[in-house]
Structure 1
């Protein structure tokens, strides 16, 4: 219906209601009224009608979408009618008409009932009769708080979505058996299976924005018993700013179940050493490096230098950041290999960064077992090149992105990262630049991580391959890892190794089971196959060894370790004699060096 037709319809309906209400209110006085008073009644009705139309326009009663009418609309009707009656009372007093209080009160009551009833009739008709509920997808909403009622109201008001809220689930016992928006609260999270069966539920939506990770995991496990894949409502802040609609549900991701509550950043401390400065990121096209760049841009550096070896990955992050921040920040893409010492010195000299985040590295454990020379060239020599260039050109802070695999390493990748830590620790003792390292565990969704591999195996119909039923790993999200790296720079005093409190380690087999369930399958449909440990793999990872542990966090959820710097001569020997090692000797040497074990080759040479 067009706006003008809608306006005429509502105005005409209100006119009939006003005349009917005032004449009905005068009926009890009929025997005592004189002919002259009848004229006064007609004039009063016309005045009331005029006042009602004026105040109805003021309170936008003709502009409301009455199919969505609620308490707010009823308040608007009450204000409009009350002011109209008051204006009529004033008119009758000025014109010296007889003012009948009972008539005015009766008219006020009838107007509210009749106008309000006419408006709410459309909503009731729409909700009850226009679309049979049986043809709609029945939705169980987990959470009967403000977010849950927001979701329920949105679904009820947007019938074209084909989703009908059938019941709520809420762990607050006070809400049990209550009806909210006409929807029953069917029980607590333990009753999800029963509610699904009772109300013929087709879809489950989790609508509790404040839900902690462990609570979400518990609710998710209850949902999996129903064979229905649960979804989550979007973030309230995204809904409020119009970024997404409240009904834009998304699937539960493994990051939701394994991640922890995000670390709160020291905004003032970070801004002090980043805002208005020149920041350089190596490996800027990688998973961690690109996220560091995204997070850094929020602090408005003057210039951001994106250094990377891969042309395509640098192009993509450069385009993304320029589209979003290009007006405020100078973003410079640089193609260069950290193994190219001359190129790294050239980049440092040209851009003179205040802060360097060194994220470029080879990180795939089994692959580096077969390619130890490349691991050393990239992770050791690459770090040395970038760090010494930073020292030469007076960089204020240098942050090395390291790994938990650098602790008591059993593989080449972890060993080369520990040697990289040794190199920057040695430099920190000699340089004005503050050199620090940041260690964290496996990053969910990063390139080469287990999550993308498991997803591909599930899409192919399985099996999902897990090395060992007891293998555990620490996990964190890409944004979480990147925030830790940035925060570490603000805490740096020189020589520290920062570690995030990563909670409890996760069994890889449990991760595989969660991913299978999240994909809508069971372990009967997608089996898990145990393939045995791969070259260089450990059953569990550590974040700090016994000599490095400082029990108290330096910042909420951030621990600091002062790693012991030993075997400097052996590191120097590796750097000098690298070309003389064969692959087998090199592998043995770097692992022994990282574990503080004496190397036979070095002892002979010495």
Structure 2
């Protein structure tokens, strides 16, 4: 057994403490060093102190007192010291009994108290000295951040305690805010509760707050968004403790605190899916995800992997995204039977070959060209990929007895003003037409914009803010529906579970958001003032862009499902032969005619398609 220099020093100090405790105990018991009884028992102790000291140090070692890092000492270490102190003095009694001698019983009690007090006190003195020294060094390097904690409950108290114990040289919590008015004027670990959410702006000024931490992991998103709305109008940085469902280990800690994100301002609760229903139709199945490397496709792959499929197949034309996703899934799900194909849905023969080989049970079709301005300049590509790629996949699915086919659509398919939206409306029509003729359950899921997806407005705004602006908005009155990527995927998977065939599922997406307000909020959350520090520039509507999006066609209407956030559009009658003939004409037009003529052919299929001729 080898000890380092620090451990040997600790053992030596404990040796001194043990003997000081014993002498003090004898002195208190007999009140004077001239007392004959004191002198008698002092002689007893003098002849046995090495045995007593050794036995106690062995007990301290067995209790792990020489393994702890005392600059991080906490209540657990104190409990360990108390246990060690009691057992060590029991060991001392046993040693003296073996040596056929003893000390007064009251001396043993006092020695136990002194051992615990001095040994524990010394170790916590080390921790305090380390914190003071660290604070002194760090304070010369880093400015102390003054913190307001919103939420004076258990989570807020835990965050405060961790700040004080481990981050006191960086963060200084100075005030609590809580909507429970009965807490006002109370003090938590020395920090006052000074008001409610309405007082945040005034208290931020009064206490010179640098950072506001919202510590309310159990609060509904609608409430958190109201608090974020208040906080973003102060000059303090905003941080938030994620909801309990986001905390992977369920532990509230400073390390879990993150920046407030634009999603926190939407105030919409995450969609809850029926996992038991989902697992029934995915468990043990062979599942194919097209466009698997994209924002929606990759999240589909992640959530499907949890449901224990027999095999997960990723299909994508872009190898880099597919490769990155493959590496991620193999690491997270080592037992997952995963295969990745690089292929285009335009390649009818390749798609048929893959489905014939793999015996697929369920298809999630996320592959598509989605960028509105790009597709306006390349309308033929939008039709080739979105429409005829979907036709290829649908044909192969029906030929190979696929059970379910779930296609991702968009609100831009409703009364489209751009070729991308019109192409997705044709895809919906294809799905409904195929469902009438084949055993496969074909369905579509229609939803609005997805926050944070590749090429979407939020990453573009963040890049523009990072570059110092301007942030570009097409029109001051443009509004859009938004949802998070996990929400979108939850809906898609849930729709598959509920599908009977032919449905177009629609999400209740709440209230639409003004894009200019989104830009202003994102600038504020980035620590800048909109219009002054970061300008906002109105650029004008792009070709095919609408001021607002719709989720249903006039003739569709919606009916409720058992999921309170999911509705289903009333099926529209699609004549299979008529659609098939129209698609033949459209395919010929793509090969023989120009862009504008192709738009006219699309208009013949999608009567609600409006475009400038």
TM-score (norm 2): 0.86
Seen in structure 2, the aligned counterparts of structure 1 residues 118 and 105 have a Cα distance that, compared at 3 Å, is same
CA contact (8 A) 2:26 2:38 kept: no
2: distance between equivalents of 1:230 and 1:8? 47
2:415 to 408, 411, 429: 408
CA offset at residue 544 of structure 1? 2.7
2: distance between equivalents of 1:386 and 1:590? 20
Aligned to 1:223: 231
2: distance between equivalents of 1:243 and 1:2? 36
CA contact (8 A) 1:440 1:500 kept: yes
1:330 to 337, 350, 359: 337
Aligned to 1:119: 123
> Does residue 15 of the first structure (1) align with residue 27 of the second (2)?
no
- 1:372-411 matched pairs, under 5 angstroms: 372-411=379-418
CA offset at residue 512 of structure 1? 0.9
1:502 to 480, 504, 509: 509
CA contact (8 A) 1:412 1:591 kept: no
2: distance between equivalents of 1:572 and 1:412? 19
> Does residue 189 of the first structure (1) align with residue 201 of the second (2)?
no
1: distance between equivalents of 2:324 and 2:87? 62
1: distance between equivalents of 2:515 and 2:529? 17
> Does residue 348 of the first structure (1) align with residue 360 of the second (2)?
no
Aligned to 2:545: 537
1: distance between equivalents of 2:97 and 2:303? 69
Seen in structure 2, the aligned counterparts of structure 1 residues 127 and 572 have a Cα distance that, compared at 3 Å, is same
CA offset at residue 403 of structure 1? 0.9
Aligned to 1:594: 606
- 1:449-464 matched pairs, under 5 angstroms: 449-464=456-471
Seen in structure 2, the aligned counterparts of structure 1 residues 533 and 41 have a Cα distance that, compared at 3 Å, is same
CA contact (8 A) 1:500 1:558 kept: yes
2:316 to 308, 317, 325: 308
Seen in structure 2, the aligned counterparts of structure 1 residues 15 and 108 have a Cα distance that, compared at 3 Å, is closer
2: distance between equivalents of 1:488 and 1:526? 41
CA contact (8 A) 2:364 2:406 kept: yes
State the Cα RMSD in Å.
3.5
CA contact (8 A) 2:11 2:57 kept: no
2: distance between equivalents of 1:127 and 1:161? 8
Seen in structure 2, the aligned counterparts of structure 1 residues 110 and 195 have a Cα distance that, compared at 3 Å, is farther
Aligned to 1:78: 82
Aligned to 1:24: 27
2: distance between equivalents of 1:550 and 1:239? 36
2: distance between equivalents of 1:79 and 1:530? 70
Aligned to 2:496: 489
CA offset at residue 542 of structure 1? 2.3
More displaced, 286-295 or 429-438? 286-295
Seen in structure 2, the aligned counterparts of structure 1 residues 543 and 17 have a Cα distance that, compared at 3 Å, is farther
More displaced, 567-576 or 445-454? 567-576
1: distance between equivalents of 2:9 and 2:565? 59
Alignment size in residue pairs:
597
CA offset at residue 513 of structure 1? 0.8
1: distance between equivalents of 2:88 and 2:548? 77
- 1:232-243 matched pairs, under 5 angstroms: 232-233=240-241
CA offset at residue 546 of structure 1? 4.8
Seen in structure 2, the aligned counterparts of structure 1 residues 124 and 189 have a Cα distance that, compared at 3 Å, is farther
2: distance between equivalents of 1:13 and 1:154? 33
1: distance between equivalents of 2:312 and 2:428? 24
Aligned to 2:292: 284
CA offset at residue 444 of structure 1? 1.0
Seen in structure 2, the aligned counterparts of structure 1 residues 107 and 279 have a Cα distance that, compared at 3 Å, is same
2: distance between equivalents of 1:34 and 1:442? 86
Aligned to 2:596: 584
Deviations 1:333-355 (A, max 9, x none): 32322222222222211222111
More displaced, 314-323 or 413-422? 314-323
CA contact (8 A) 2:226 2:265 kept: no
TM-score (norm 1): 0.86
Unaligned runs of 5+ in 2: none
Name the SS for the 2:31 alignment partner: helix
CA contact (8 A) 1:166 1:184 kept: yes
CA contact (8 A) 1:25 1:107 kept: no
More displaced, 236-245 or 557-566? 236-245
> Does residue 448 of the first structure (1) align with residue 455 of the second (2)?
yes
2:429 to 422, 428, 434: 422
Seen in structure 2, the aligned counterparts of structure 1 residues 493 and 105 have a Cα distance that, compared at 3 Å, is same
Seen in structure 2, the aligned counterparts of structure 1 residues 484 and 535 have a Cα distance that, compared at 3 Å, is same
CA contact (8 A) 1:179 1:185 kept: yes
CA contact (8 A) 2:15 2:57 kept: no
Name the SS for the 2:255 alignment partner: coil
1:209 to 204, 210, 217: 217
More displaced, 299-308 or 175-184? 175-184
